[in-house]
Structure 1
Amino acid sequence: MKVTIMAHKALYRKWRPEIFEDLIGQEPIVTTLKNQIQSGQIAHAYLFTGTRGTGKTSTAKVFAKTVNCENPAENNPCNQCETCIGITEEKIMDVMEIDAASNNGVENIREIRENVKYHPSKGKYKVYIIDEVHMLSQGAFNALLKTLEEPPAHVIFILATTEPRKIPATILSRCQRYDFKPVTIDNIQKRLIFILDSMEIEFEKEALRIISVSAEGALRDALSILEQSVQWEQQRLTTEGVVDTLGIVPEEQLYETIEALRNNKLEEVLEVLETGGRQGKDVVHFTKDLIQYLRKLLMAKVGVELEQFSTMPKDFLERLKVQSQQLSSEWITENLEGLSALEGKMKWTGQPRILLEVFLVGICKSTTALSSKEKEGAPDVQELAKRIQKLEGILEGRGMEEKPLRTQSREATEKPGETTKKPGERKKPSFDAGGKDTGRKIAKEEKVQKKESVPVKNPGEGAFPDREKIQKHWQDILQTLKKEKKAQLEALLKEGEILGTDNEKLILGFEKGFGFHREALDKKEKKTQIVDVIQRITGETVGLKLIMKGEELPQNPGGNAEQKLVETLPEGLVEFRDD
């Protein structure tokens, strides 16, 4: 008994374009090629570039069939003549498709050079389609160059590649280059609907949306995913089947993950990972999905209209926008950068899940997730408690033998009766008519006067900058830098925050993740330009000290402890005494 074996044909091969109109998303290229065919101005060498699955090889085959077709119709192949059928079934030697990945040697190109001398057996042209041409060796490129320089009139070369930067400039200059764009999500969905309707297969729209997004612009990848996901027995395509096939995390689950991180609910986040692991979800894929979700949050945060390029349901888009406003831009960008770096590390470890869990623990420890609006709307109870505890410690530590307040000037802290004198000179006491020492009285009066007029100083260092004055004019300082064509300085500086003063220096702090800004500004030339503007705007002569937030501040940032205590406590509670 004779058994006939029916060969299965993959969807991407079964639905490969047969005419130019079947090529999806490459209309400008199609129009140009058809015009060349119509006018007879056909080039001898073409270079098709673009990402995988965008139709480079398919376009080359349709072009090869059209220029050799016996009965072309509207600059398309008829697909019925002997030549078209022979090319489709790969039975005619006039059209050769060569894989440069496995035929990349000089001898392979030399064979082509020998064969191009002979005229085609059926059609008008011999067409050589060299796929992944960037894989050719340097010697092979040199051998090909001679043929491209002086090709026979009956030969056409079509080179296809995903990496044009690897092709020598001498080859590029001899080809007409066409760049194939990634197929849009909308075009992929329309093509999938056409195919499913033709095959009479029921489908869910959400399933098509997930396939279209996951294909990342490659129609061939979309057809491969479709073929894996269809339940052929029931002739149905379901969202659940697509999710299981791809091993992706649903957007609702990503939303809940971000909510748990925002509210420091680590146990819920880890439960998501545990559930995904039991379902066979890939932790690397989960990381990629989380990165894409954070990217959408960032776009929504800065006001980008997601409806223009996202196929998310409208109700979910609204929830995403609300969630983005509950998070600070710094929190989103910091974790976006962190996850992107983490994805790179996952390639080199056998335990990617542990890396992700450690990173998520770090996110939950962060206290900067709230947006600036939420921070301004509610007092930070923990910060207030720390301030109270610090003030109580200062009060308990002073006692009765506390040193004189350092908010006074050096002259004001001198012992009664002492005045400035030259080295080696002794101060003679002065007495009034009643025999009382007038030196103490005069010194005391001078001390009171200087206390009111002399600016705050640190012993031996000079006056502290007026932090409040600088803070008040901070935006003017930034705008001045921008107007004076120092926009880079302004952009870097506005990420800093005034934390205090240290002797004659203004302390600027930068959040975690903005170390680059601090390092870029921590140059003598840039500091000089900044302090010059500060002096012109505020009249304050200062230096700059740049630190990362969380680093230990100087002992007396912006003044001493006693001065801060006086500024914090209600007026009249502290009494200054000279004895």
Structure 2
Amino acid sequence: MAYTILARKYRPQDLAEIAGQEHVVTTLSNAIKFNRIAHAYLFAGPRGTGKTTTARVLAKSLNCVKGSTVTPCNECDSCKEIRDSISLDVIEIDGASNNSVDDIRSLREGVKFASAGGKYKVYIIDEVHMLSESAFNALLKTLEEPPAHVIFIFATTEPNEIPPTVLSRCQRFNFKRIHLPTIVQRVREIAQAEKIELTEEAAYTLSQRAEGSLRDVLSLLDQVVAFGGENITNELVLKTLGLVDQQVFFTFTEHILKKDSKAAISLFNQIVDEGADVSEFVSSLNLHFRNLLLAKLNLASEQMLEIPQSYVEKYQQASQKFEENDLMRMLKIVQELGAMIKNADPKISTEIALLRLAKLDQSIKIDELLSKLREGGTSSGTHSPASQPNIQQTSPEKDSDLPKTSQFTDVKHGTAYAVKADSTDIQAAWQQVLEKLRKEKPSLGTFLQDVHLTAFDTNELHLEFAGDRVFQKQLVEKKENLTYLQKLAQEILGPQYKIKLDLNSAKSSPAKAVPSKAKPDLEALKQKDPLIKDILDSFQGEVI
């Protein structure tokens, strides 16, 4: 005897067996009970949610020898013929291949004849949105005033493509995507009936892969059983379907937190070498960051995340390591990657995205940024230690250790000249550096406006920041800022000089208090205080 796939073997045979569509079942059951059967129905919804099955069950309920009933007997000839798709009174038409006006004309001729044995003649048109405009127009009159013994049931995944004139003549039922717990429960019931050992985690993985389709999950179960037998574990499901273990994405999270781009890219290449599909990986990574964000928003639940409870707890723990804004930025990067891999090399595009994720600076709120700048201090989320240049902090040397002469350069003519290395000459030369710096890069010049040149020797210039100006010092220490300052100083003072940044903890400078506001008007602040504008220009980041 030929094997019957699980999706057909366990197809619902009455309305009570239809899972996840309670609103449809209730309405149709009441219509049958109270004899309020419409002449045309439209079943719309995603694939595998029970549209065609419900149409067959409705036809069976109407044509059962027991009479119109919610619970057909499934034993009479009419029920058996409808179940086996050989009934003369239930005509199924594929709208994708029978979409011409001639096909609809043939249908119109057929509705004139009475049913072969049942009470109703039921026309089920699947993918009805594929009919041509002329075919829809040819159907309108018959659809509006069909014979009393004819019922039309249309099924579609694209209801928006159906003309309004057709929609207005039908009772519409929207089939929803079946919730994950419902699919998990159903697939475990079927596995038990088939004497298949199916672990809970494997059932969740299969159900997630089905994306709300009960038919798809049974097809996947058939595939896994054919590959690995009747003892189904999560590892077997992952191997059969080429999926990535959920735990791997938590490993990616750790690499991103540590800003270890090398480890993240190496792990990705290992996954690809093992046969994982890149597009599936990107889709799962997108879902991973979505779950992290929901957990951060305290929305983590087994139903919301559609994962086992054990993983809900993992997401709750992992989400605490991120800021909400950072998770939104990471999710945006992965979503952009999903669109990019359709038009570019998927592997290279994914590697670049992983590099961006690993190098992404943590965000800082603008009010916190302004407060740190005004009061002095550090912001732990602005820059990672790995991204800051290695600056050696030194103590100011005594005047007796300073050299007697130093060489400086004329700014206008670019010629080198020697001057006596006294305090007046050094400060004058440093003012030349600051003057040129303010013209070429005003933002950096702003950070140095309260900095003093306190000491120098033949190779080093020491810039002293007040003890409460640690934050400004960190901004100057940024690689691009320090490199630019070093280059400018060497142009004026000579190529042998290097900049050293010092912090005088015993010295402080006055700081203005920033009024506490829930939502500062950034544009108004930028216009009012040029210093704020300089900060934003220096960061070259996005304001969140």
**1:179-199, Cα deviation, whole Å (9 max, x unpaired):** 111111111111111111111
Tell me the alpha carbon deviations over residues 169-221 of structure 1, each in whole angstroms, 9 at most, x when there is no partner: 11111100111111111111111111111111111111001111221111001
Conserved in 1, the CA contact under 8 Å of 2:38 and 2:151? yes
Question: Aligned pair in 2 of structure 1 residues 186, 269: CA closer, same or farther (>3 Å)?
Answer: same
Distance 1:241 1:370, change over 3 A: farther
Q: 1:380 to 1:225 in 2, by over 3 A?
A: closer
Which one of 194, 197, 205 corresponds to residue 192 of structure 2? 197
Return the letter of the residue paired with 1:356: T
* Matches of 2:164 and 2:425, distance apart in 1: 76
**Alignment partners' CA distance in 2, 1:140 and 1:396:** 94
Residue number among 133, 136, 140 corresponding to 1:141 in the alignment: 136
Cα distance in 2 between the residues matched to 1:24 and 1:225: 18
1:416-431 equivalences in 2 (<5 Å)? none
Q: How does 1:381-400 map to 2 (within 5 A)?
A: 399-400=427-428
1:62-115 Cα shifts (integer Å, max 9, x gaps): 000110110258522211111111222222221111110111111111111111
Q: Is the 8 A contact 1:126 1:155 kept in 2?
A: yes
Q: Is the 8 A contact 1:79 1:85 kept in 2?
A: yes
Partner amino acid, structure 2, of 1:37: I
Establish whether residue 93 from structure 1 lines up as the match of residue 121 from structure 2. no
Amino acid at match of 2:259: N
Aligned counterpart in structure 1 of residue 515 of structure 2, from 473, 478, 493: 473
> How far apart are residue 377 of structure 1 and its match?
8.7
Unaligned runs of 5+ in 1: 1-5, 407-466, 479-489, 511-546, 552-579
Distance 1:498 1:386, change over 3 A: farther
> Is residue 317 of structure 1 aligned with residue 343 of structure 2?
no
Contact 1:69 1:84 in 2 (8 A): yes
> Aligned with 1:177: secondary structure?
strand
Check the 8 A contact 1:126/1:154 in 2, yes or no.
yes
Matched letter for residue 549 of structure 1: F
Question: 1:63 matched to which residue of 2?
Answer: 58
1:131 Cα shift?
0.6
Report the equivalent of 2:166.
Answer: 171
* AA partner of residue 82 (structure 2): I
Partner of 1:282: 277
Q: Is the 8 A contact 2:326 2:363 kept in 1?
A: yes
1:367 to 358, 361, 368: 361
CA contact (8 A) 1:230 1:241 kept: no
What is the SS of the residue equivalent to 2:70?
A: coil
Among 533, 539, 543, the alignment partner of 1:549 is: 539
Question: Cα–Cα, structure 1 residues 347 and 321, in superposed 2: closer, same or farther, change >3 Å?
Answer: same
Name 1:412's counterpart in structure 2: none
CA contact (8 A) 1:50 1:181 kept: yes
Q: After TM superposition, give the deviation of residue 271 of structure 1 in Å.
A: 2.1
Cα distance in 1 between the residues matched to 2:113 and 2:51: 27
Q: Which residue of 2 aligns with 1:459?
A: none
The answer to whether the 8 Å contact 2:24/2:173 transfers is yes
**What is residue 482 of structure 1 aligned with on the other side?**
none
Three-state SS of the structure 2 residue aligned to 1:9 is coil
Deviations 1:421-466 (A, max 9, x none): xxxxxxxxxxxxxxxxxxxxxxxxxxxxxxxxxxxxxxxxxxxxxx
- Decide whether aligned partners of structure 1 residues 396 and 122 sit closer, same or farther in structure 2, where only a CA change above 3 A counts: farther
Q: Aligned residues, how many?
A: 430
Q: Which moves more between the two structures, 378-387 or 72-81?
A: 378-387
Q: 1:272 to 1:35 in 2, by over 3 A?
A: same
TM-fit CA distance, 1:306: 2.6
- Which residue number in structure 2 is paired with residue 355 of structure 1? 349
Does structure 2 conserve the Cα–Cα contact (< 8 Å) formed by 1:130 and 1:160? yes
After superposition, the Cα gap between the structure-2 partners of 1:313 and 1:127, relative to the gap in structure 1 and judged at 3 Å, is: closer
Is residue 295 of structure 2 the alignment partner of residue 300 of structure 1?
yes
* Structure 2 counterpart of 1:241, from 214, 236, 261: 236
Give yes or no for contact 2:295–2:316 (8 Å, CA) kept in 1.
yes
**Which residue of 2 is the match for residue 107 of structure 1?**
102
Distance, in Å, in 1 between the alignment partners of 2:429 and 2:227 is 90
CA distance in 2, matches of 1:23, 1:468: 69
| Contact 1:72-1:78 at 8 Å conserved across structures | no
CA contact (8 A) 2:180 2:303 kept: no
Instruction: Provide closer, same or farther for how the CA distance between residues 322 and 476 of structure 1 changes in structure 2, counting only shifts above 3 A.
Output: closer
> What amino acid does structure 1 have at the position aligned with 2:514?
K
Tell me if the contact between 1:68 and 1:83 (Cα under 8 Å) persists in the aligned partners. Answer: yes
Q: Secondary structure at the match of 2:48?
A: coil
Q: Please, which moves more after superposition, 264-273 or 282-291?
A: 264-273
When the two structures are superposed, what TM-score results if normalisation uses the length of structure 1? Answer: 0.67
User: Residues 386 and 201 from structure 1, CA distance in 2 versus in 1: closer, same or farther, beyond 3 angstroms?
Assistant: same
SS of 2:533 mapped into structure 1: strand
Relative to structure 1, the CA distance from residue 59 to residue 380 in structure 2 (aligned partners, 3 Å threshold; closer, same or farther) is: closer
**Cα deviations by residue, 1:248-294 (Å, 9 ceiling, x for unpaired):** 21111000011101212122212222221221100111111110000
Given that 2:364 and 2:381 are in contact with CA atoms closer than 8 Å, whether structure 1 keeps it comes out as no
Contact 2:363 2:381 in 1 (8 A): no
Structure having the higher Rg: 1
The correspondence of residues 11-30 of structure 1 with structure 2, limited to 5 A, is: 11-30=6-25
Q: Secondary structure at the match of 2:315?
A: helix
Cα offset, 1:400, TM superposition: 3.5
CA distance in structure 1 between the aligned counterparts of 2:424 and 2:75, rounded to whole angstroms: 100
For the structure 1 residues 474 and 247, does the alpha-carbon distance in structure 2 shift closer, same or farther, using more than 3 Å as the test?
same
Q: Give 3-state SS (helix, strand or coil) of 1:249's partner.
A: coil
Q: CA deviation at 1:122?
A: 0.9
Query: SS at the partner of 2:349?
Result: helix
Please state whether the residue corresponding to 1:267 is helix, strand or coil. Answer: helix
Match for residue 78 of structure 2 among 64, 75, 83: 83
CA distance in 1, matches of 2:425, 2:389: 20
Q: In structure 2, what is the Cα distance between the partners aligned to 1:236 and 1:171?
A: 49
Q: Percent identity?
A: 38
Aligned counterparts of 2:325 and 2:358: Cα–Cα separation in 1: 15
2:30 counterpart letter in structure 1: N
Equivalent-residue separation in structure 2 for 1:246 and 1:33 (angstroms):
37
Deviation at 1:472, TM superposition (A): 1.6
Measure, in 2, the Cα distance between the counterparts of 1:342 and 1:232.
Answer: 32
Q: Counterpart of 2:350 in structure 1: which amino acid?
A: L
Letter in 2 for 1:123: G
Change (3 A) 1:68 1:263: same
Shift of 1:317: 2.8
1:500–1:507: 8 Å Cα contact kept in structure 2?
no
Q: 1:402 to 1:25 in 2, by over 3 A?
A: closer
Q: Secondary structure at the match of 1:178?
A: strand
CA contact (8 A) 1:37 1:75 kept: yes
- How far, CA to CA, are the matches of 1:234 and 1:165 in structure 2? 43
**Cα distance change of structure 1 residues 384 and 76 upon mapping to structure 2, 3 Å threshold:** same
Which of 5, 9, 24 pairs up with 2:4?
9
Alpha-carbon deviation of 1:330? 2.6
Distance, in Å, in 1 between the alignment partners of 2:219 and 2:312 is 28
- Comparing 331-340 with 148-157, which one deviates more in the overlay? 331-340
Residues 499 and 42 of structure 1: is their aligned pair in 2 closer, same or farther, counting only changes over 3 Å? same
Q: How far did residue 313 of structure 1 move?
A: 4.3
